[in-house]
Structure 1
């Protein structure tokens, strides 16, 4: 614990996501690492891991939406399957009435056909097909085909997202290995150098933040988490990633946000930097992969990285992209 903070320094395990830079193993025969070099490597490691984490958050959102759509399509298919069966029975009864007193071999072929397309094929061989064709049956057949296409498309999309998740899971092992190597580099530093490295971006939080309305509740929640740990994909109660913190903070104010920095960029009207107010969300990097909350005085509160945890920092401590005002 450093300076009374609650975070673990550095939390370099449990990261989920995409291939990062290689950091060579540190053997005892190698020269002592330069702190600036270690800082650059660790910073890049954290940043690329966060980019991957936010892509993973986006994939989870997409997968939930696809699964919801798929459930709706299947329910539609079941309801319309019942309708199709009703129409089928009507046509069968009409065929029987049409052919009463005649040979029923053709009728039997129609009635025993379970496949809808086979059912239509058998009807097409009967001389009375034109008289028996019903507009509702034709409309329903077309609608069923459209549903089948939509269902297949949704299943394909769900499979694509599942493949993305599988790919991310496979790459997790490589990331853990790289992070272990990074931790090895940090371990080679003297304690004072290590502490300076992992706490370099921290700033003493302000005593109070002037905010009103929903923004006041959001700011109060975020500021109460200062000192908590940074964990990729987490959204509380004691650990967060960047979008998890802002999602939970605005959730405490009654505003629902997605767990994704890029998606949160579309959560409200954009705000010019000169018009920033406490509670506004501020975004970083291109493509967007980090989000924090403005607290006034040119400062933000954010879940920074596994080394710094939830902390405050200057607004322009990272490449600034823009801001939005939720609620």
Structure 2
């Protein structure tokens, strides 16, 4: 008789346990994911918090902008020096070649008269380094070749020196260009971060941010008319009515008034846009005074004055790193290029941490 084995049945208990374990694992993973997403999500900012962050990012961007301006100034200086040295190299190379031609003429004459002087042959055939090592032979010559050889040795030394200077300036240029790239990226990253914060705000919150603080045009600046005069709140007197201490200072202030409303563009020096130090440099240039390019150097370009001694035309600096500058116009007001997105405007000097002031000569 055939035996009939009963088929093995799956344990419903084990299957249920496996399903339960899987469910718990999935739920745990989901919970972990939710917790991770919750912990890494950008917290919603109030208008005040957004204001503080944007202000900080603009300050950091301006610090990088001034570093960029300094690097660009060094690059421009090095580039100009290289052009000058290239011209000098061409002139000195021409002189060396002319001296060698004279030696060739002497050698030809000596050959026709019975042979080439061995010292002349040395100058014509040796490399500059080999020749200079044997330059002591020059003193042993007593004919016309002697003077030409001494001249050639001196010219070669001078040519080598000019080449060294050109190499040094080229190294400076390359270093400045590397700095430019780094600072450019920093500025762009800071400005993008600031814009991202503003973009996350509602229209009402953004309006609140724009209604206060240094990130927006001040109430005084909003009152700028086509004539460039701005009435101060709380009185009828205008900042422009405060007399400047000199004709040059008056011209610098007048120039700054004429720039009101122009856009801020980092690295710009005019005439259609400015950054902060570009505006003050251009204002004083219009008065015949040459200022250096950056805030760090402008603060030392004149006589330091205290806050209580401020007069129209003075340069006023802000933040501990001296990364921002404006042109004082009187009554506690200045004209400055604030930051991207804001035009050149009038603003109170109290809206930023005061770092010092200087009066250009």
The TM-score range, normalised by the shorter chain, is 0.7 to 0.9
2:65 paired residue number: 53
Match of 1:137 among 152, 155, 169: 152
1:294 paired residue number: 328
2:68 is aligned with 1:36: no
**2:42, 2:165 → 1: CA distance?**
59
2:83 is aligned with 1:71: yes
Shift in Å at residue 267 of structure 1?
A: 2.7
2:180 paired residue number: 165
2:194 paired residue number: 179
**1:239, 1:152 → 2: CA distance?**
35
Shift in Å at residue 44 of structure 1?
A: 0.6
2:282 is aligned with 1:266: no
Segments of 5+ residues of structure 1 without an aligned counterpart are 1-28
SS of 1:229's partner is coil
**2:138, 2:309 → 1: CA distance?**
75
**2:170, 2:207 → 1: CA distance?**
54
Provide the aligned length of Structure 1 versus Structure 2: 300
Q: Which has the higher helix share?
A: 2
2:35 paired residue number: none
- Answer with 134-143 or 230-239: which moved more: 230-239
CA contact (8 A) 2:313 2:329 kept: yes
CA contact (8 A) 2:65 2:184 kept: no
- Answer with 316-325 or 272-281: which moved more: 316-325
CA contact (8 A) 1:202 1:313 kept: yes
CA contact (8 A) 1:281 1:324 kept: yes
SS of 1:216's partner is helix
Match of 1:82 among 74, 94, 98: 94
Shift in Å at residue 195 of structure 1?
A: 3.3
Shift in Å at residue 268 of structure 1?
A: 2.1
**1:270, 1:196 → 2: CA distance?**
34
Segments of 5+ residues of structure 2 without an aligned counterpart are 1-40, 221-229, 232-237
SS of 1:162's partner is helix
> CA-to-partner distance for each residue in 1:215-256, whole Å, 9 max, x for gaps?
112112213433443221233445321112212222332333
2:223 paired residue number: none
2:349 paired residue number: 315
2:17 paired residue number: none
Using the size of structure 1 for normalisation, the TM-score is 0.77
- Answer with 238-247 or 189-198: which moved more: 189-198
Shift in Å at residue 97 of structure 1?
A: 3.8
Shift in Å at residue 77 of structure 1?
A: 0.9
Structure-2 change in CA distance of 1:185 and 1:130 (3 Å): farther
Which of the pair has more CA radius of gyration? 2
CA contact (8 A) 1:217 1:252 kept: yes
**2:78, 2:280 → 1: CA distance?**
24
Shift in Å at residue 114 of structure 1?
A: 8.7
Tell me the C-alpha RMSD between the 2 structures: 3.5
- Answer with 193-202 or 53-62: which moved more: 193-202
**1:321, 1:192 → 2: CA distance?**
29
Equivalent residues in 2 for 1:1-327 (5 A)? 32-100=44-112, 113=125, 116-117=128-129, 120=131, 130-131=140-141, 132-133=145-146, 134-171=149-186, 174-175=189-190, 177-187=192-202, 189-190=204-205, 192-197=207-212, 202-204=218-220, 205-206=230-231, 207=238, 208-212=240-244, 213-306=247-340, 308-327=342-361
